[in-house]
Amino acid sequence: MNKWQSWATRGTVPILVLGTIAALSQPSTASNVQVTCKTNASTPTVIVTLNREGKTQEHAILKFLPKYFSAADALQNCQNTAGSLQAVYDTGNYKYLTTDKLNDRPVVCAVERRGIGCNHYSAQVLFSFKPIENPSQAFYEMLGKDFKQAQRPDVRTISRTYTDTKPFWWPF
């Protein structure tokens, strides 16, 4: 082994070992977050349950309001959305929820970053609305209080509303 290969090996091996140790020692948040559809109330609601240090907290993410969905559609959308959002939290790939139009149909989707619409190749559509006047307003009304932005979306703006899937108060 020449002198250069010896130095490269000495420098590379410790970096790989430290990287492996760091990756294995980071706590996983996947087991600490559970997303479910609660149907015990009249309105199916997507709930995120956070488990941290023996404490459990539940927060409503989305309420499938009867003014936007039939009872059967609300239940089906709630269950599908809960499953999709569980995958979102498990993988950590999607950071925002937003609204958009696909094929003239208002939809809500999960996206990786602000500025991406639901037509982006990486976006994951969660559910669609019946054609309504303003999907951003409907989405805002559906959001649980812990996931809402401080202000309602303005009906005069064209831009999308982005809601963080892990708000500032998120414990991990």
pLDDT in tens, 60-102: 999 999 999 999 999 999 999 999 999 999 988 888 999 998 9
pLDDT of res. 71: 92
pTM of the model: 0.75
Residues 6 or more apart whose CB falls under 8 angstroms from that of 33 comprise 48, 49, 50, 51, 86, 89, 90
* Sign of the torsion formed by the C-alpha atoms of 62, 66, 69 and 73: positive
- The percent of residues above 90 in pLDDT, for the chain, comes to 42
| More confidently predicted of 164 and 11 | 164
160 vs 55 pLDDT, higher one:
55
